[in-house]
Amino acid sequence: MQPRSPDLGTFGEGRAGVARPSPSRGSRAGSPWLPYLYLLPGLLVFTLFVVLPVIAAIAISLTAWNGISWDTATFVGIDNYLDAFRDDRFWTAFKHNIYLIPWYVILPIILGLAPAAFVHRMKLRGSRLFQAGIFLPYIMPGVLIGVVWRWMLNPVFGPINTTLKDWGFHPPTWLGDFTWALPTIGFIGAWAAYGFCYVVFVAGMQKIPTDLYDAARLDGANGWQEFRAVTLPGLRRELAVVLAVNLINAMRAFDVVKATTDGGPGDSTNVLALYMMNNLGGNRAGFAIAIAIMLAVITLAQSLIVLRLFGDSDD
């Protein structure tokens, strides 16, 4: 144990005059290598299993390779990317991802924002319980969501179609129908995401200072005007985040599609991630990975644009 002498009590940046090499709050604790020692294990694991695969992905995407033996890989430059641009099925899958955006992004935002706005500034008994219920689908694995909705939408026995038939409608087969399959997947995506949006918005609204509302009220604003003038601008950051997260989910959609339609019927619900997976066989590893890289670039660009548009100032 070291003696607690008073002149030791004020170490740190301010008092460098003491005979102690302590320019920062850390280096006094030991050798200058210490921080690197703390980083070493994490950096090793991260480099080996995240960075290396990313570099390998870029490299493989520039080759024609059967995916089996390394020496069969031949460098082809950006041919795989050009092939993708010339490939109708690639564009079909891409269009389907774009089509999912209103469903995965806009719809859950509206469905989450509306109840959040009503709940806002009301003391409600059990609001936490409601919140938990609404949030529940968001913690479930995509495959499970797919399995549950496949049963809900089963054309013959499913609860939705039996009910609709009881009411005299002639519902489509939903996931089995060329026209309806993709919007149905969009609907499932919106269902899975709106609880998340709701909770983010409720939390964001609680951070808006109440005097802004008092001021709006003094100006004679009604509920809607108050929402437009105070609540919505106050949710800028939350909107940016929800937009970015939902956009990523729309572009990367995979789990739910795999478990409901697997891209069918025909190619009517094929999406980029699924198309990538289905190209892994055969001679097309490079091509598949090129799609994955484009997917990464698209989602990254989207996130940057969203964050830029919403001018995220703090941290």
Residues of 174-190 as b/e, b for ≥16 C-beta within 10 angstroms? bbbbeebbbbbbbbbbb
Q: Does 144 bind other proteins (CB under 8 A)?
A: yes
Quick one: which of 254, 239, 234 has its CA closest to 105? 239
Instruction: Answer whether 286's CB lies under 8 Å from 66's CB.
Output: no
Residue of 62, 182, 216, 288 interacting with other proteins (CB under 8 A): 288
Q: Does 163 bind other proteins (CB under 8 A)?
A: yes
State the Cα torsion 284-290-294-300 to the nearest 10°.
120
Residues 55-74 close enough to bind other proteins by CB under 8 A:
56-57, 60, 67
Q: Does 172 bind other proteins (CB under 8 A)?
A: no
Strands (E), the chain: 63-64, 74-75
- Chain CA centroid to CA 249, Å: 5
Stretch that binds other proteins, among 48-56, 78-86, 93-101, 214-222 (CB under 8 A): 48-56
Question: CA 65 to CA 80: how far, in whole Å?
Answer: 11
Residues 192-251 close enough to bind other proteins by CB under 8 A:
195-196, 198-200, 203, 237-238, 241-242, 245, 248
Residue of 16, 18, 140, 215 interacting with other proteins (CB under 8 A): 140
Residue of 14, 21, 42, 168 interacting with other proteins (CB under 8 A): 42
Q: Does 2 bind other proteins (CB under 8 A)?
A: yes
Stretch that binds other proteins, among 82-90, 99-107, 170-178, 296-304 (CB under 8 A): 296-304
Distances 200 to 109, 203, 240, 241 between C-alpha atoms, Å: 10, 5, 11, 9
Residue of 14, 139, 170, 224 interacting with other proteins (CB under 8 A): 139
Q: Does 24 bind other proteins (CB under 8 A)?
A: yes
Residue of 18, 78, 110, 143 interacting with other proteins (CB under 8 A): 143
Q: Does 107 bind other proteins (CB under 8 A)?
A: no
Coil vs helix vs strand at 13:
coil
Residue of 124, 232, 305, 309 interacting with other proteins (CB under 8 A): 124
Which of 227/254 has CB closer to other proteins? 254
Query: Encoding tokens for residue 146?
Result: 């797919």
